[in-house]
Structure 1
Amino acid sequence: MELRIGYTHSLYKILGLCCFLIIALLLIYSLNTSSIANNELYPPTTRVSLVSKKTEPQKYYVKTSKCHIPFVDPFNDEAMKLYKPRTLITCSNEPDLISTKYNKVIKRHVLHIDDEVAQKLFNYTDTEYNCFYREIKYGNHADTYDNLKAKKYFTSGYVVPVHVEGIIVECQTAEDPIVVLQKDAFTFIQHRPLPKDPVKPRTARKPSVIMYGIDSLSRINLRRTMPKVFNFLQGPGWYEMQGYNKVADNSFPNILAILSGYSPSTAKKNVCDTDDEGCLDKMPMIWKYFKNASYLTGYAEDESKFNHFSFQKPGFSKKPVDYYFRPLLMALETEMDEYRLPEYNLMRYCLGRRIANRYIYDYAQQFTQRFVHDRPIWGMFWSTHFSHDDPFLPSSMQEKILGDLLDMHEDRAFEEMIMIFFADHGTRFGKLTDLKEGYLEERLPMMFIYLPPWFRETYPSYVRALELNQHRLSSNFDLHNTLKHIIEIGGTPDGQSLPKSFDCPTCQSLFYPLPEGRTCSEAGIEEHWCTCEPYRTITGLSWTTPIAQSVIDRMNEYFVRKNLTSLCFNLTLDYIHKTELKTGLNIDWHQKMKEMETAVYRTKFKVKQNSADFQATVVYHNSTKYAQVDVEKISRTTSYKNDSTCIDDKLAKPYCICYDNLIKDQYFRIELVLN
């Protein structure tokens, strides 16, 4: 009997233990499931992989009553036949002999020399060496530097003087023959104490704004070449403006629209000619408004020749922002060795021992780290060199760009700032433009806006509007108004509203709902750049040839008006790539064909001169065979850098094939045809 009782007691113990284990496992599973649902177990870079996917594939970026922008699969078969991921090319395989670190306690930059690296460079001999730097001295003109100051020798642990903003450093043997161990360059955002202003009335919290720009990168190509970056941009607080449509052909007018609210032509009539010396200083640039609202301001680009405000432009005569990188860049390009990729030699790839864009984005990182937790800042940091010439080269920079974003996340900068991660336009030249979706690749730049948690909590109506506007048509002018709105949120000095974009009176801040039935004209987007309405391909030489030929006639007439006929070849049609008819939304196409006297066409053709390709959107009169087109709105879809060296007129350059630049065998072929 006692044995039976003992056995039963043991059985109860076992059953009790099993129940306890089952309950414990269920609790652990429940906690894990809850944590996973809240993304608590995953770092920021992987959180978005947990977001539920739509069951049906996306068909449109925008689908409203007046605008259908079709979604493009970046990995479709046609595109993937062209796509070849690029490998990152490093500029130096040597470890850094000299490095710099910011000391947060003393708020100063400190130079360090690594003796072990020096020993390796000297093959472990007892050779003595010295290190020195030369300070980059700013010039009298805002866009230049004068020279380098005298050598300043230093040892490891040297604290950089607070007035120094850029240096060229060099370590070399102490005795003849002098051997240079390593040469490098550093730029510094120095700490600036808060101003001791008298007590002012308390205003709303001012959000900082950092604009991180990449030239020629469409939303389609971002997904294709930098999927990890795209993945990061799907995280909480990020909003993709999928209806964002460029308003002009190349960088300058698109960027000018964002930063000033003007196009070059209206600026010429109402403010000044942006080609004239001093005009850019007069333009109502957005940084002036930020500066007036007590923001610190910064601006940097990575190519001096192709800078937005210096490429065939006069640049600035006065320093436009508090932290202006261009004079430092001019020194780096002059004093440091450079390397260009053999197949894409237009842009510098390496400046000294570093990839060119690293200087720019490091400058952005320093600017943000130094000030974002203490005061409101605005800065725009732009790279051209790794995306302009090769649409697939961004794939090699993916880890670098992602690293920048993760560093800002680690520094908690995203807790304070609005970030605008954007481009000016998509790919304008090359094979991607020949794809079925090439028209969209060119006209739909990427645009992502991040709102920090406190901003989302304080302004829920703005968040709801931005969420809604992700799938509505928007433009550069809307972004300009949004930047002005951000300033107004923190309070303008006089309490007044700021002027909105001049060129688009119907444009608005993206923090207010955009109209559902918005058209391109209401967003300040001209017909040629508009992606809202469908086109249908038409065939038949008897129909398509007169359209292309009439466009070429307008181009040749343009040369006459501009007095360029003695320099630019008269263009002749080679063949037509494609002709499309604008059908419009919710229209019976067959009925329209019967009724139309005039119609809008999109024609892409090649001329005999240097095999140049063009794409034009025209109003064509079927009875008169006349194409009505603004020549300066015609897209050149092949590079023209070697075709128009005989003229300086930047508006005419895409269309001019200079007599001196005509390819020789082309010349004989054209002569035979003409004779």
Structure 2
Amino acid sequence: MAYIRLLNTRMYLSRRSLAGLIVGAVMIIFLSHNNSYVMTIKKNVFNEYDSNSFLVGISNDNVSDTVREEIQACIHPELDVDDPVMMAFYKKLPKVVCKGEKNWVFVDNGTLRFSEEAKKIHKDFHCDYYPLIRGPGDYQISFSDPIKDIKDGANLTSDFFKITCVDINNNTYENIHAGIHLNLTIKERLQVVKPPANGLGLSIAFLGFDSMSRMSWLRRMPLTRDYLVNELKAIEFQGYNIMGDGTPAALLPILTGKHEQELPEARRNQKGAASVDGFPWLWKNFSQHGYVTSWADAQIQIAPFNYRLLGFEHSPADYFMRPFYLAVDPLYHKYSPDCQASEPMHMVWFNWIRDIFNMYKDDPKFLFHFYTPLSHDDNNKITMADEDLKTFIQYLETGRFLNNTLLLIMADHGARFADVRRTLSGKLEERLPYVSLRFPPWFETKYPEIIKNVRTNVNRLTTAFDLHETFKDVLKFDGAGMGDIKNRGISLFKEIPKSRTCADADVAAHWCACLAWQNVPQTDPDAKRALQTALDTLNNFTQEYRSDCALLSVGNVTMLSKLFTSDDVLKFKETAGDRGLEPIMSAETARDKVIYQLTFFTEPGHGEFEITLEHLIATDSMSVNPKSISRINKYGNDPACILDKNREIRQYCYCKNNLS
């Protein structure tokens, strides 16, 4: 069977060398024992691109008459987990150690408990319990009047609370705790409203981690991954492609089925902007169909729906963890790094999820949780939690909490900042985050075609829109079979067509990991124009604020590449022969556009940008789609002077007052 491995010419090649043919200096094709291959063209390969766009297909010994159905359009690069370029950034860190006395109290399945150790050390201590109240909105909290002298074993009256304790020697304890209190309103709703009869009988538990590529997860989370894959038989996806820049671009398509620009205006400082409550959140769908729901994002400053967006006016789910983190955030400076009092911060998050499973063990659940602190700024920090995450998943499995649960462990994207992203391997890894799905054992017996399709889709191009459709299928299943390529989102329970391209999936060229790039010298006239066009675009964003923002110039150029269509693709017309194995290379298609990708620094401020632009050959014009611009190093306080005026241009503005 013929197969290929596509790699950019600047990509690290492992010792498992590729023998093969360099095509146009952008790809390597390795043919194991069948030299037949097919190049094919498909209309609309990239968003708004026509039939001259780039697509590579291959054939094996059994190519059918319908080339579109049998040739895999998107072949992702095969990355190396031991790539020395990436391993240079790897460092395993020890487990988190939290100094100081252990917590006096803890939460267990909706009840407040005093620790045995505290009862031995602190004789006759008593505690006051202050329920935490959310709101109004997403940015305010308060504590209600205390329940005085609360007793060990008392039922929680709120999910989050402050507790103060004192013993007979005036030793004190104060902390903020998270748990799940018994909400009778939710319990009564679950008794009345049941999931649809055509549902699949699954709960959904989504555990997301920030900035973890598939390769980074394999390097840094070996214990968790080994347990997931080898013990629980989780299915890992190798062709899951990000949709855009940052966490909102990753989560909004999953939770709403839409890009941010397709949703009601919710950005800060924008005319007519309102809270994100009006988005078509999946939490609403599941709540209306008999599920208990939750949203737990362990971050407040850069929360995906709060940093640029206005956040929620009302809680989006039955259980919502943001109020807890608003209360705790001012206290972190008092504790050991990565700790909240005597507990690692990630264990607080794990334990809250555990409590939801305990409180609603037999009820349908849609739990969507995302953890940022351990991996956003430094992937290596997540190594501190590998053993703990494995143990947590083991707890869920041995407690039979996963018996009716589809468990997703995944990331939003790969690392986006610092030196790792300046490498080609890092650039590719950013676009290919870790994604795994684990089904309970009975599910394959009952739905073998679904699991067959899921496994088939492992190496197909998949996206966040597909997860959205998958979740909807859990709620109301409409059959397996072949997915419709005309839909940008296809349930993973259906087979993703081999012929699917980034354009079909609504993935912009800027983010499509299927692309192959060729280096271009900076002396090339068109390359110079491309750089100037990119720079002009950046400066145009800040033109209105020129009194505040400095005019930028190009500094060091670190990458200048272009996507081109190979001669074989241009000449390919169709296949012939009884089995469709003979390519007819008679087409006279002309190139009509070139896509450039640039990475360069701007001065002043040493901002680093990655920009994709289009050169239309017929009109000899170049243009940049604003959505194809990424700021890839931190801007810190550089744009402080305009944050209150227009936060949307912060990544492009270097304040003039920084020059003095």
What TM-score comes out, normalization by structure 1 length?
A: 0.77
Task: Name the counterpart of 1:424.
Answer: 412
Label 1:198 to 1:360 Cα distance change in 2 as closer, same or farther (>3 A): closer
Cα distance in 1, alignment partners of residues 277 and 180 from structure 2: 25
Label 1:608 to 1:143 Cα distance change in 2 as closer, same or farther (>3 A): closer
Label 1:606 to 1:589 Cα distance change in 2 as closer, same or farther (>3 A): farther
More deviation, 238-247/628-637: 628-637
In our comparison, the structure showing a higher alpha carbon Rg is 1
Structure 2 counterpart of 1:556, which letter? N
1:180 and 2:163 equivalent? no
Label 1:117 to 1:437 Cα distance change in 2 as closer, same or farther (>3 A): same
Structure 2 counterpart of 1:188, which letter? I
Give the one of 377, 400, 410 matched to 1:412. Answer: 400
Task: Name the counterpart of 1:566.
Answer: 547
Give the one of 372, 375, 393 matched to 1:387. Answer: 375
Give the number of equivalent residue pairs. 570
Cα distance in 2, alignment partners of residues 379 and 490 from structure 1: 23
Label 1:370 to 1:586 Cα distance change in 2 as closer, same or farther (>3 A): farther
Cα distance in 1, alignment partners of residues 105 and 201 from structure 2: 38
Superposition pairs for residues 137-216 of structure 1, below 5 Å?
137-141=133-137, 144-150=140-146, 152-155=148-151, 157-161=152-156, 163-174=157-168, 178-181=170-173, 183=175, 185-190=177-182, 192=184, 193=187, 195-197=190-192, 206-216=201-211
Q: Secondary structure at the match of 2:412?
A: coil
Structure 1 counterpart of 2:374, which letter? F
Cα distance in 1, alignment partners of residues 193 and 513 from structure 2: 52
Task: Name the counterpart of 1:323.
Answer: 319
Cα distance in 1, alignment partners of residues 383 and 558 from structure 2: 29
Structure 2 counterpart of 1:131, which letter? C
Cα distance in 1, alignment partners of residues 195 and 495 from structure 2: 33
Give the one of 300, 305, 310 matched to 1:304. Answer: 300
Shift of 1:196: 4.5
Shift of 1:143: 5.4
Q: Secondary structure at the match of 2:229?
A: coil
Cα distance in 1, alignment partners of residues 418 and 130 from structure 2: 42
Structure 2 counterpart of 1:384, which letter? T
Tell me how large the CA RMSD over aligned residues is: 3.4
Shift of 1:198: 9.1
Cα distance in 2, alignment partners of residues 139 and 273 from structure 1: 19
Shift of 1:226: 1.0
2:98, 2:341 within 8 Å by CA — same for their partners in 1?
A: yes
Cα distance in 1, alignment partners of residues 17 and 143 from structure 2: 58
Cα distance in 2, alignment partners of residues 369 and 213 from structure 1: 20
1:137, 1:149 within 8 Å by CA — same for their partners in 2?
A: no
Shift of 1:339: 4.8
Structure 1 counterpart of 2:539, which letter? N
Label 1:200 to 1:406 Cα distance change in 2 as closer, same or farther (>3 A): closer
Shift of 1:281: 1.2
Q: Secondary structure at the match of 2:545?
A: coil
Shift of 1:353: 3.1
Structure 2 counterpart of 1:365, which letter? R
Q: Over residues 207-246 of structure 1, what are the superposed CA-to-partner deviations in whole Å (9 max), with x where a residue is unaligned?
A: 1001101111111111111122222232354221211111
Task: Name the counterpart of 1:370.
Answer: 359
What TM-score comes out, normalization by structure 2 length?
A: 0.78
Cα distance in 1, alignment partners of residues 244 and 642 from structure 2: 22
Q: Over residues 25-57 of structure 1, what are the superposed CA-to-partner deviations in whole Å (9 max), with x where a residue is unaligned?
A: xxxxxxxxxxxxxxxxxxxxxxxxxxxxxxx89
1:512 and 2:514 equivalent? no
Label 1:101 to 1:248 Cα distance change in 2 as closer, same or farther (>3 A): same
Label 1:201 to 1:245 Cα distance change in 2 as closer, same or farther (>3 A): closer
Q: Secondary structure at the match of 2:640?
A: coil
Task: Name the counterpart of 1:553.
Answer: 536
Shift of 1:295: 0.8
Q: Over residues 551-577 of structure 1, what are the superposed CA-to-partner deviations in whole Å (9 max), with x where a residue is unaligned?
A: 1122212323xx222222211011210
Superposition pairs for residues 530-545 of structure 1, below 5 Å?
530-543=512-525, 544-545=527-528
Structure 2 counterpart of 1:569, which letter? A
- Relative to its length, the structure with more helix (as a share) is 1
Shift of 1:65: 3.2
Label 1:337 to 1:183 Cα distance change in 2 as closer, same or farther (>3 A): farther
Label 1:409 to 1:292 Cα distance change in 2 as closer, same or farther (>3 A): same
Cα distance in 2, alignment partners of residues 199 and 539 from structure 1: 63
Structure 2 unaligned spans of 5+: 1-15, 19-28, 31-56, 59-70, 573-588
Task: Name the counterpart of 2:474.
Answer: 486
Shift of 1:526: 0.6
Cα distance in 2, alignment partners of residues 91 and 249 from structure 1: 34
- Name the structure, 1 or 2, with higher relative contact order (CA <8 Å, separation 6+): 2
Structure 1 unaligned spans of 5+: 1-55, 103-107, 342-348, 492-499, 665-675
1:189, 1:367 within 8 Å by CA — same for their partners in 2?
A: no
